[in-house]
């Protein structure tokens, strides 16, 4: 599916683990990546990504960094919403390539505000992939 001519900003791979399940409550389930890759130098925020899973490549949107809207943990997470995917991801190996920084992490007051912004982010990501000859 993905065939981009852009160079990735960062890459990460690992195993999908259970998160808080909050993405499910707003209709955007995320794959939470448990990785040994060092992403501490990655600018926290939202990225346009492609994801390799079970030998197939999908487009998606990833947030990396702390999650001030949903908890006050200092833990850095990598969460990805995979477009056009419906299936079980827990314990699966996943790798992603981030191509474009969309926006920095923002502290929203509610999950509804998060969903509204993520809808805008998804539109921006899809437009990005169209402009570089992807989706």
Q: What is the 3-state secondary structure (H, E, C) of 8-61?
A: CCEEEEEEEECCCCHHHHCCCCCEEEECCCCCCCCCCEEEEEEEEECCEEEEEE
Query: Contact at 8 Å (CB) between 13 and 93?
Result: yes
Written as six digits, the tokens of 82 are 């995979």
**What is residue 110's predicted lDDT score, i.e. its pLDDT?**
82
Residue 118 belongs to a domain with what CATH number? 2.40.30.30
pTM as predicted: 0.86
**pLDDT of 92:** 95
- Per the structure block, which two tokens stand in for 96? 């992603």
Domain coverage including residue 38: 10-125
Give the number of domains in the chain: 1
- Asked if residue 3 belongs to a domain, the reply is no
On whether residue 52 sits in a domain, the answer given is yes
Cα separation, 100 vs 103, whole angstroms: 9
In a domain, 21, yes or no: yes
The answer as to whether 2 is a domain residue is: no
> Residue 1 domain-assigned?
no
In order along its 135 residues, the chain shows pLDDT tens digits of 455 567 899 999 999 998 776 666 566 788 999 988 888 889 999 999 999 999 999 999 999 987 655 566 667 789 999 999 988 899 999 999 999 999 998 888 887 888 899 899 999 999 999 988 765
Q: How far apart are CA 44 and CA 47, in angstroms?
A: 9
């Amino acid at each position: 599916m993905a065939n981009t001519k852009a160079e990735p900003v960062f890459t990460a791979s690992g195993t999908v683990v259970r998160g808080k399940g909050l993405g499910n409550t707003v209709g955007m389930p995320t794959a939470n990546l448990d990785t040994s890759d060092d992403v501490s130098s990655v600018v926290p925020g939202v990225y346009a990504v492609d994801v390799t899973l079970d030998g197939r490549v999908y487009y998606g949107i990833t947030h990396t960094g702390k999650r001030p809207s949903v908890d006050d943990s200092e833990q850095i997470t990598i969460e990805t919403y995979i477009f056009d995917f419906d299936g079980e991801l827990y314990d699966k190996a996943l790798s992603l390539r981030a191509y474009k920084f969309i926006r920095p992490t923002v502290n929203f007051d509610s999950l509804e505000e998060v969903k509204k912004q993520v809808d805008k982010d998804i539109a921006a990501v899809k437009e990005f992939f169209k402009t570089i000859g992807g989706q």
